[in-house]
């Protein structure tokens, strides 16, 4: 699968502040992967796109994340999964999480039903997708959907 991403390999953007020496690589890279999150409340007929961003917006490259994870002696073995965390772009519509997208709740998202969302609520379903667009082809990663259910008290 990694070979399928080779055409989408991009240099890491300049980092400010400059990372510590053990995190500096002259040939470090990221991937041009489009990312999208769609929200569907229990009252909506169809989901609404609430953010579009790109994997290139990561501040820390995957190599840097792995190096930092292990530098203190933390084990990393084949099969371990790591997550990048929120990937946000500079534009409001490319903020990668509800906290950032709604500016800590100060700018709620208006859904087509008239509902407002500062945060995800019970009954909301969130779908995240990712893909790379090539010249006449697409490499996709599928989608993942989660639904918020009420807490059991």
CA dihedral 114, 118, 119, 124 (to 10 degrees): 10
- Please give the structure tokens belonging to residue 105: 């709740």
Give CATH for domain 2-147: 3.90.850.10
Residues 6+ apart with CB under 8 A from 3: none
Percent of residues, the chain, with pLDDT higher than 90:
87
Average pLDDT over residues 97-112: 95
Task: Please determine, for residue 26, whether its predicted confidence score (pLDDT) is greater than 90.
Answer: no
Alpha-carbon span 48 to 52, nearest angstrom: 11
Average pLDDT over residues 22-44: 95
Whole-number pLDDT of residue 48: 98
Predicted confidence (pLDDT) per residue in 45-80, tens digit = 999 999 999 999 999 999 999 999 899 899 999 999
58 exposure class (CB count in 10 Å sphere: 0-12, 13-18, 19+): buried
Whole-number pLDDT of residue 85: 85
Whole-number pLDDT of residue 119: 96
- pLDDT band of 1, cuts 50, 70, 90: low
């Amino acid at each position: 699968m990694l070979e399928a991403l080779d055409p989408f390999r991009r240099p890491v953007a300049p980092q400010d502040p400059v990372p510590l020496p053990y995190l500096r690589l002259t040939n470090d890279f990221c991937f041009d992967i489009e990312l999208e999150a769609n929200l569907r409340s229990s009252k909506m007929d169809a989901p609404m796109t609430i953010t579009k961003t790109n994997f290139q917006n990561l501040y820390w490259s995957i190599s840097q994340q792995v190096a930092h994870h292990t530098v203190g002696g933390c084990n990393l073995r084949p099969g371990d999964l790591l997550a990048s965390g929120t990937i946000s772009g500079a534009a409001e519509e490319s903020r990668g999480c509800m906290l950032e997208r709604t500016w800590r709740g100060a700018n709620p998202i208006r859904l087509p039903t008239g509902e407002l969302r500062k945060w995800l609520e019970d009954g909301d379903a969130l779908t995240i997708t990712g893909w790379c667009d090539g010249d006449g082809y697409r490499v996709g990663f599928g989608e993942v959907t989660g639904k918020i259910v009420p807490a059991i008290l």
